[in-house]
Amino acid sequence: MATEGRGGNWPVGEAGPVSDEELTRHLQAFAQSFISSARRQRWQPKRLTVPTRNRDQMGKFYTQCDPRYCLRISWEDAALRDIKARHGDARCVYLDENGLGIAISLCAGIDRALHDFTDAIISIIPGKLALMISHDGVRWLCSRP
């Protein structure tokens, strides 16, 4: 079984439920930290859990993210390799474009988003570290000190 909280390990490949409170906490922190102030209202949890609104917002991430903290990266990027090495088995909160919120390991979340060709937020540390993966495979590393 998984260990609760940040830094806990999650069985690789397994997904599990995430509470509404935890999902809300991660999504609010994501919007507050990584979305430009003019667009944050559109990234609130109640909007993101509605599939049609979610798809619209996630599809516009690249125009609404805060470029000071969000960097487009490649799979070969050293920063991504480092994050996967340090947090690959960590319990993360995953939200896809269909409004599905689950708890999953970082590596399994990346695999899931790519396999399903879906837009997804993978929140590793709320408001501090996240990945945004688009349905076409574009990756964004979102990080704040």
pLDDT in tens, 62-82: 999 999 999 999 878 888 889
Q: Tokens representing 108?
A: 């399994």
Rounded to the nearest integer, the mean pLDDT of the chain is: 86
pLDDT band for position 59 (cuts 50, 70, 90): confident
| pLDDT above 90 for 51 | no
Q: Which DSSP string corresponds to the chain? A: -PPPSTT-B--TT-EE---HHHHHHHHHHHHHHHB-GGGGGGG-HHHHTSHHHHHHHHHTHHHHB-TTTEEEE-TT-HHHHHHHHHHTTBEEEEEETT--EEEEEHHHHHHHHHHHT--EEEEEETTTEEEEE-TTS-EEEEE--
Evaluate if pTM is beyond 0.95.
no
| pLDDT per position as a tens digit, 87-121 | 988 899 999 988 889 999 999 998 888 888 889 99
Q: What is the mean pLDDT of residues 47-53?
A: 78
